[in-house]
Amino acid sequence: MVKFLLQRPIAVLMAFTACFIVGLVTYFTLPVSLLPDIAIPQITVQVSGEHSSARELENTVVAPVRRQLLQVSGLREIKSETRDGAGVIRMEFEFGVNTDLAFIEVNEKIDAAMNGLPKEVNRPKAIKASATDIPVLYLNMTLKNDRAYKETNEQQFLNLCELAENVVKRRIEQLPEVAMADITGVPGRMLQIVPDAEKLAITGITIEDLEHALEANNVEPGSMLVRDGYYEYNIRIATLLRTPEDVENIYIRKGDRLMQLKELAKVAVVGKKEQGLSLADGKRAVTLAIIKQSDENMDAMKAKLKETTDYFASLYPDIEFQVCRNQTELLDYTISNLQDNLSLGFLFIFIVAIFFLGDVRSPVIIGISMVTSIVITFFFFYFCKVSLNVISLSGLILAVGMMIDSSIIVTENISQYREKGYSLKRACATGTTEMITPMLSSSLTTIAVFVPLVFLSGIAGAIFMDQAFSITVGLLIA
């Protein structure tokens, strides 16, 4: 086999060049993630019911939905918890169940249960868990004129919250690399009406009159059909109050006088009483947890996100954007660790070649074979849909060390035959053929250690599958 390849140097060179180019192209298209894309066999159904006690919510909503969900195929265990105003149903499936199909079936069962639920209840929400749902970074939005651990201007912060919810969050979620931006630190808002006691006393209007006026204007009956002979009319009454200005412009009649609410009371949007805060460097902040699409490149996501935040920073100079809890640093450290291993490998090869082999050209040959092997490995990553993550890169780092050992052994054996007077082709053929069997045995025994990881059940087996794949492919190509 070795002699056959040595007799066709151009074909071998072109084949390896083609594989190197294909591997290099696929490297830039590989998805880069912190962890492998593993579907956790769990689905959570959230039930909300404001102003409902735990017992009422359990009997009217949670129990009917749970009975429907018991029919989902592949279900291993189901648990439910109910408290005042909210309920949670946790479903655990057998490992290996297609969670995408199970998620569709869960939503179908929820739709079927909606017919027996009270009309005022919102549709329960199903949530599918995945290892890639971990936020890769957090984006904090703060006011520049704020001081650390000092009181924040409430109106300015509410404007910041409105901008974060309606503009920044939606724009970030429009990026193809971002799956979701989960927002926290936004206080609830309510409409505050403060009547002027003196004006109410002068006009003779009572608090009850104000309440009746608000109730009368905060209705939306919808469409009605009126038949008149052969004609039909669709009438829609829409008086729902949606903005503070709508409330201010409500008319109140008292005797012969007609007044607006803004003449009798002060109307403003204020924040509700908070149960927690989001702080960044001591300043009150709105925090966006950025979750990446599982099949997208992390570096591309960071570049797009920085471009978006820089754009908003130029539009709103009073707002400061800051990235924190950046989980990508661990992945960057792993990639830099791989680069360091390659650099140290080249250094050790050079030292060994100088002091033991007495040849300076050997490190170049070994280095080319190592880089080519790693780049070709990326093609199999792309072909088998394995992402570059901490687990797969750790396996590749282990494979690099074993590649160096094999390269040094073969090169040193060829050098010994050269010293015996063999020609270059004969030394390469004899030295490689002599070592290929023990090298192949050594690689196969190493691979055999990681093969049981493929058959390991549960999420642990799915995680270490990437490591076993990296080592196996790397050694076989080397």
d(CA 294, CA 33): 7
Per-residue model confidence (pLDDT) at position 273: 67
- Binning pLDDT at 50, 70 and 90, where does residue 86 land? confident
Per-residue model confidence (pLDDT) at position 331: 67
**Beta-sheet pairing, 137-143 with 125-130:** unpaired
Per-residue model confidence (pLDDT) at position 323: 87
φ, ψ of residue 473 in degrees (nearest 5): -65, -40
Per-residue model confidence (pLDDT) at position 122: 83
Asked whether the predicted pLDDT for residue 359 surpasses 70, the reply is no
Least confident of 44-58, 127-141, 152-166: 127-141
CA distances from 378 to 30, 292, 344, 364, 466 (A): 8, 21, 21, 22, 13
Strand segments (E) across 158-271:
178-184, 189-195, 222-228, 231-237, 251-254, 257-260, 265-271
DSSP 3-state of 163: helix
Strand partners, 126: 45
Asked whether the predicted pLDDT for residue 369 surpasses 70, the reply is yes
d(CA 38, CA 395): 17
- Binning pLDDT at 50, 70 and 90, where does residue 228 land? low
φ, ψ of residue 115 in degrees (nearest 5): -65, -25
Sign of the dihedral through C-alpha 55, 59, 60, 65:
positive
Strand partners, 82: 87
Query: By percentage, how much of the chain surpasses pLDDT 70?
Result: 83
Report the range out of 126-135, 199-208, 352-361 with the highest average pLDDT. Answer: 199-208
DSSP 3-state of 187: coil
Angle between helices 390-419 and 424-454 (to 10 degrees): 150
When the pLDDT of each residue in the chain is averaged and rounded to a whole number, the result is 78
DSSP 3-state of 471: helix
Asked whether the predicted pLDDT for residue 69 surpasses 80, the reply is yes
Of 471, 326, 344, the residue nearest 399 (C-alpha): 471
Query: Which carries the bigger pLDDT value, residue 188 or residue 320?
Result: 320
Mean pLDDT of the 344-373 span: 71
- Binning pLDDT at 50, 70 and 90, where does residue 459 land? low
Asked whether the predicted pLDDT for residue 458 surpasses 80, the reply is no
Of 200, 37, 215, the residue nearest 129 (C-alpha): 37
- Binning pLDDT at 50, 70 and 90, where does residue 231 land? low
- Binning pLDDT at 50, 70 and 90, where does residue 357 land? low
Per-residue model confidence (pLDDT) at position 125: 86
CA distances from 170 to 141, 165, 204 (A): 15, 7, 48
Number of H helices and number of E strands within the chain? 16, 15
Of 174, 164, 441, 416, the residue nearest 293 (C-alpha): 174
pLDDT in tens, 294-313: 667 777 788 888 899 999 98
Cβ-in-10-Å burial (0-12, 13-18, 19+) of 17 comes to exposed
d(CA 27, CA 272): 50
φ, ψ of residue 260 in degrees (nearest 5): -100, 155
pLDDT in tens, 397-439: 777 777 777 777 777 777 777 777 777 777 777 777 777 778 7
Per-residue model confidence (pLDDT) at position 226: 54
Mean pLDDT of the 172-195 span: 80
Of 250, 257, 248, 249, the residue nearest 202 (C-alpha): 257
